Structure 1
Amino acid sequence: MIFILLINLKSIKGVFLILLTILLSLASMLGFMGWVYHFTLSEAFFFTLNNTSMPIVLLTIANSDGVHVISRFFRELRITKNSQDAIKSTINHLFNPITLTSITTASAFLCLWFSPIKGMNGYGATIAFGIMWAWLLSLTLLPALISLFTWDPKSKSISKPGRLEKVILVFGSIVKKSPKKILSLGLSVIFISIIGLFFIKVEVNYVEMFKKGNILRDSAIFLDEHMTGNLNLLVQVTSNDGEGSLKNPKNLEDMLKLQNFLNEMDIVTSTISIVDIVKQLHKTIMDDDPQFETIPESREKVNNLFWLYNMNDEADVSSLINDDNDVAIITALMKTFSTSQMNEYKVTIENFIKDEIHNKNIKFELSGVMAFLSDFIFLVIKSSIISIIASVLLIALISTYFFKSWKFGLLAIIPLSAAVIVDFGLMGLFGIDLTHMTAILSSIIIGVGVDFSIHYCSEYKNLIENNKRDKTKTAIDNVGHPILLDALSNMSFASLMLSTIIPMVQIGGLMVFAMLACSFGTLTLLASAIEIGKNKLT
């Protein structure tokens, strides 16, 4: 990121100020999280594995604010030749768009408060605070620090447009001349990406999150290949027939029926329950006759077996049945398999209980790692859909209010909607799994996408109000450079591909496409759509 910023801005001071804004925002965000937890002790503000992505998300957004301010300052200084006038002009141009992007993005993250995944509540609130703090620093501290430095309008970094600015000048002319072709090309990419959405696979298998050679993955593979596996299914059996009701042979027989069904499943390596203890005890007192490895036919005999077993000081069945003998656990051990299949197995087990066990005195409830992961898959999907839809709608409403135009409100969500479709479509086409970690891409895309689109819409609306000509070309010339520079600098997250955690590797690669989708979505789809319908906006 620093390297890309230095090449394009050609100013160590400018890059330093951007990085200072980012670091102060990150420190404040983490400090906020710590203080909230200190005062509330809420589990929503635990720093978990998923929260490791928070610095990445805030860094992209804080970087956007800083890049826009510094780039605009250099552009204004090139014109005015006076740093104080350039600062005033920069703030006058950027106060509204930076404020609007910060409010919309923070509001979008606050939508995570309604996520069914508890940890995402604190995640969204913490990042929302970080975004608003970055906004405050960008419009107060950053201009103040700029005014403290001496800037030479004749220096190369200010007096001459950089290579990226020259590219933008050409790009603006192309969009101006051929808006329909540009729009058609962008829509073609979106159409292909929509096809990829149907191939997205949800996977939250933690073993697959680590590269080969990682101790966690190797340990899990060892358990699968040489032992009983590292997954389990726990079936809680509860009787409503009073204390000691699970000593009833009928209840034990139904437990055995389910246990035998589990043993027949190809994913199960072994099972254990209180039924195994009862059968083994029965066989033992009958001179180890294999024919008596069964459940006794009367409750009295079962009681006797429990009494004999409890005479042993080392006897302990607390992990299998409670002291009142009305709640028991059936444990099924399993080898690792795809979490996309877990719901199928869970439904199969639930259907067996419903269709084959007709006993109103006992109730079966599934839990354990397998049941958790099965439910977690749907929480990941549900959380992603809720956050994306709520964020897009909220951004459209807030943009409509600020721009005082529903047309600009709808235009503001075009780039981020397109970017979400493109990135998730690519995940489907390239076989990249959707996990609770890669799902944060939607948050990054929305945060960056709304920044780009609002800056463009704000610039275009100002040009309309000032009756300027060649609005599309001028708007692209003015905001295209910071948009592309922001996107390129955020592409440095491709370094995450060196991580040992596979989802982080995937995020690193997808970040490149996300930045391209957000920036080109703004400068192609949005710009060409506005150019085509410009007569209806004035």
Structure 2
Amino acid sequence: MADRFFQWVIDNPRRIYAGVLLLTLALGALIPRIQIDTDPENMLPADNAARMFHNEVKQRFDLKDAIVVGAVAEEGIYTPESLAAMHSLTRDILKIDGVVEKDLMALSEVDNIRQDGPGVIRFEWMMRNAPQNQLEADRIAESVSRLPMLQNTLVSGDGKAAAIYVPIEDKNESYRIAEEIRTLFAGLESGDTYHLTGLPVAEDQFGFEMFVQMGISAPMAGAMIFVLMLLFFRNLPLVLAPMAVAMATVISTMGLLIGMGFTVHIMSSMIAIFLMPIAVVDSVHILSEFADRYRPGRNVRDTILEVMKHLFMPMLFTSVTSAVGFLSLMLTPIPPVQIFGAFVAFGILLAFILTIVFVPAYIVRVKPETLAALQAAQHRADKARGIDKLINPLGALARNRQGSLLVVFASVLVFSVVGITKIQINDNPINWFKQDHELRIADRALNSHFAGTYDAYLVMSAPENLAAAEELNRRAAEIQADDFVFDWQPLAGGAGFSAALDDRITQLDDALFDAGGDEAEVIEQLLALAERASLDAKVMTSPDLLNWMANLQGYLEASGLVGKSNGLPQLVKTVNRELVSGKSEDYRIPATPEGVAQTLLQYQSSHRPGDLWHFVTPDYRSGLLWLQLTSGDNQHMSAVMDTVDDYIGMHPAPVNVDVQWAGKAYLNSVWQDQMVAGMMDSLASAFLVVLVMMIALFRSVLWGLLAMLPLTLTIGLIYGMVGWLGIDYDMPIAVLSALTLGLSVDFAIHFIERFRSYLRKGNDYQQTLSLMFDEPARAISRNALVVALGFTPLLFAPLVPYVTVGIFLASIMATSALVTLLLLPAGIWLLQRWLVPAGQGKGQVTGFDPELGEAR
């Protein structure tokens, strides 16, 4: 059947050209619909519990994503010039479309809280106008020093930097807003250094630069591959065939992805770069074997049919196994990784189909003199340019040092396993940029001065206490059991219990106004009961709970993991101090819930009453602590979470509250953990599937196990080095395991298939090995060089994930080719008693006859 198929292929080249062109144009026309998505939140499914709770918390507390703008003045920020520049910058930022004006935090937009007489508190703007002299600037410094919620948040502890927190309506607009803010820096005359950072702008800017990089790296990879293949084959017309296959594969795959409505995420942006080198692998095998078999005057059709018949099954299995490696990524719980794996797998299979139909059809239409030039030039190039100079020493090593090689590879495996145990899982969107990028510079500068520009939220909520509602209804019924004077409808417990209680208190107040005598006494008892229940329901007014939260904050800051935390305790303490005496000894939580409620009521008279609801909900049943972290690494976040767990374990909350996490830093740690578990499952599953496929392909358990050796050692060595070198195991490195699995077994399949074909012709182990280090080893080396060097343009990308992919893919290809050429001969040597039939190899090997494909 394969013979008839390839016969049809070479008989219908024009139809194939038209079909490939039509497919490419149709799917390529969908690319302009591209939509970019770099939000790490989308690493988690929309129905993920952590993601849903995070978004619920943002709505519940009216929290916005924010850009952090900072000014650093080495001589101190409290000067008229520096503060005037900050005042002017704030005013201009407020004019930018998309900025949430009411929530912007800056020295000119926050209150100074101070006592204005016994029992009287005064809220006035901290810096409504820019200071005109140093005395006014010093007054601002003194005021800030009295307000813990501003210290190390709006002004650094060393007094050398000030910050503006710019909340934005839509995080997808952060790059545009950031660019507008950057243009404002140029007009400031303070002489200070201005920076801009924050996860929203890092993510959105990565999307912008990623889009640019897509348009640069893929063409550069294509150009590099084109030059390499031209050097190998010295024949421009023939080299155009695999390049056409690669371009058609990339355009069609990206067009299909975009046309199906998928956004281009961090991972899917690399699909084009992954596919460009992979798509030419089969073509290199075809051209290499064709050049070895073809002789001037020989029928081109017969030669290409022989080549395709010989290579079809190895190419099919290598393509399927590579696709399986990427399809295994669909087992991860990370949607962008699933999409990436699915479409790279599709691209690999599409490249296989295009290769086996387009390349043979193309070759049969090439002029005979061009084919003759290919055959002659290829061997000259190999001899002159070092391919054989590389292969010959490897061949000698593989033939003469099998035992030593096995010892070396066993040692490498042990070394790799130890290294893998040292791997540290970590990621941080800021680290997607190189060290000299303006965002990285800003991140280092601002986090060195302030408590931290990364946010995490520790949320405490009262559970839905149905028993409290039942008890209240029961006692209300008892109070008016003999004298029913108020229509007390039973209150339901749950989320609306506190609000319903407040409504009931209002109803009782109204009823008391019209009541008298015994009737009024009953209503007063009901009112007292409801007010007590209301206070009990408003857990965030509990002095015990607030003191516990304050102690937790102190514990976190003492740990060194949290730069600072803000929450209801600081706000209550500050207002209480100014209400009582203005002295430091009254910076404390009031002794009663009523006292706490009084401070909160007073704060609502400030210029920014809405700030209260960022820390507590209106029903006072839920509150949060805003933690400022100096690092967005998920390892850092995990350590903070462990510290909180330790504290709660030693000091349980005095009130029954549920403690949960939210915030971008937390979500980052969640999807990283899920990624690791998912990658382990996907890699294990794919490994087993590929093993079964190898056993089926070679119809031998032993040969199938041998085929798995190169990928096992390659994956082990690459990831072992990650551990030994202390490189963070992040998303790009994680998904490279799929590529390692696919491409490492690719070389093994071609090696073993050719080795077995030589054995079937009567050659013994040594004769076969000599033949293997001729054309087969040359083809494997060419492929390894094409793919490895094809990714080198990524090394010059400004985005770290692209550089990481470039380095590791080059390493993977070089390692897997080397391991295949050295480990498989050693493994076969060890097992030749069972793999090589006895009595073979009576003749003497003097060379290789490419027409016959055997020794002569």
Q: What's the TM-score, normalizing by structure 2?
A: 0.58
Match of 1:272 among 555, 566, 580: 566
SS in 1 for 2:613: coil
- The aligned counterpart of 1:203 is 426
- The aligned counterpart of 1:127 is 344
Shift in Å, 1:230 = 1.9
**Which residue identity lines up with residue 474 of structure 1 in the other structure?**
L
Structure 1 residues 80 and 353: CA distance shift in structure 2, 3 A: farther
Match of 1:459 among 746, 750, 754: 754
- The aligned counterpart of 1:364 is 659
Shifted more, 493-502 versus 388-397: the winner is: 493-502
Structure 1 residues 379 and 64: CA distance shift in structure 2, 3 A: same
**Which residue identity lines up with residue 532 of structure 1 in the other structure?**
L
> Computing the radius of gyration over CA atoms, which structure comes out larger, 1 or 2?
2
- The aligned counterpart of 1:307 is 601
Structure 1 residues 260 and 199: CA distance shift in structure 2, 3 A: closer
- The aligned counterpart of 2:324 is 107
Supply the distance in 1 between the matched residues of 2:449 and 2:693 (Cα, whole angstroms). Answer: 58
- The aligned counterpart of 2:194 is none
How far does the alpha carbon of each residue in 1:175-212 deviate from its partner, in whole angstroms, 9 at most, with x for none?
34543344444444444444433443333134444333
Shifted more, 238-247 versus 227-236: the winner is: 238-247
Match of 1:233 among 456, 461, 465: 456
How far does the alpha carbon of each residue in 1:70-100 deviate from its partner, in whole angstroms, 9 at most, with x for none?
2122222238822211211111011111111
- The aligned counterpart of 1:41 is none
1:213 aligns with 2:511: no
- The aligned counterpart of 2:724 is 429
- Structure 2: gaps (5+ residues): 1-224, 466-496, 499-537, 838-856
Matched length? 531
SS in 1 for 2:588: coil
- The aligned counterpart of 1:144 is 361
Shift in Å, 1:125 = 0.9
Shifted more, 461-470 versus 382-391: the winner is: 461-470
Question: Does the Cα contact within 8 Å between 2:329 and 2:679 map onto a contact in 1?
Answer: no
Question: Does the Cα contact within 8 Å between 2:453 and 2:630 map onto a contact in 1?
Answer: yes
**Which residue identity lines up with residue 54 of structure 1 in the other structure?**
I
**Which residue identity lines up with residue 226 of structure 1 in the other structure?**
H
How far does the alpha carbon of each residue in 1:229-249 deviate from its partner, in whole angstroms, 9 at most, with x for none?
222221011112553332233
Within 5 Å, give how 1:65-76 maps onto structure 2: 65-76=282-293
**Could you say which structure has the higher helix fraction?**
1
Shift in Å, 1:67 = 1.1
Supply the distance in 2 between the matched residues of 1:522 and 1:190 (Cα, whole angstroms). Answer: 15
1:7 aligns with 2:231: yes
Shift in Å, 1:425 = 2.4
Shifted more, 520-529 versus 72-81: the winner is: 72-81
1:56 aligns with 2:273: yes
Within 5 Å, give how 1:117-516 maps onto structure 2: 117-152=334-369, 155-159=372-376, 161=379, 162-163=382-383, 166-167=388-389, 168=391, 171-172=394-395, 175-240=398-463, 241=465, 242-243=497-498, 244-311=538-605, 314-316=608-610, 317-336=612-631, 339-359=634-654, 361-468=656-763, 470-492=767-789, 493-516=791-814
- Structure 1: gaps (5+ residues): 39-44
Supply the distance in 2 between the matched residues of 1:423 and 1:320 (Cα, whole angstroms). Answer: 47
Structure 1 residues 299 and 181: CA distance shift in structure 2, 3 A: closer
Structure 1 residues 172 and 289: CA distance shift in structure 2, 3 A: closer
The CA RMSD over aligned residues, in Å, is 2.7
Supply the distance in 2 between the matched residues of 1:466 and 1:102 (Cα, whole angstroms). Answer: 27
SS in 1 for 2:279: helix
Shifted more, 5-14 versus 433-442: the winner is: 433-442
Shifted more, 182-191 versus 252-261: the winner is: 182-191
Question: Does the Cα contact within 8 Å between 2:422 and 2:723 map onto a contact in 1?
Answer: yes
- The aligned counterpart of 2:825 is 527
**Which residue identity lines up with residue 275 of structure 1 in the other structure?**
P
Structure 1 residues 363 and 285: CA distance shift in structure 2, 3 A: same
Question: Does the Cα contact within 8 Å between 1:234 and 1:332 map onto a contact in 2?
Answer: yes
Match of 2:264 among 22, 47, 53: 47
Supply the distance in 1 between the matched residues of 2:401 and 2:445 (Cα, whole angstroms). Answer: 60
SS in 1 for 2:589: coil
Supply the distance in 1 between the matched residues of 2:806 and 2:427 (Cα, whole angstroms). Answer: 18
How far does the alpha carbon of each residue in 1:16-70 deviate from its partner, in whole angstroms, 9 at most, with x for none?
211111111111221222133x2xxxxxx43222333323332332121221122
SS in 2 for 1:357: coil
How far does the alpha carbon of each residue in 1:481-533 deviate from its partner, in whole angstroms, 9 at most, with x for none?
22100111122223322233344334433333322211111111112312432
**Which residue identity lines up with residue 257 of structure 1 in the other structure?**
N
**Which residue identity lines up with residue 308 of structure 2 in the other structure?**
I
Structure 1 residues 344 and 310: CA distance shift in structure 2, 3 A: closer
Structure 1 residues 518 and 343: CA distance shift in structure 2, 3 A: same
Supply the distance in 1 between the matched residues of 2:252 and 2:750 (Cα, whole angstroms). Answer: 25
Question: Does the Cα contact within 8 Å between 2:296 and 2:368 map onto a contact in 1?
Answer: no
Supply the distance in 1 between the matched residues of 2:364 and 2:742 (Cα, whole angstroms). Answer: 29
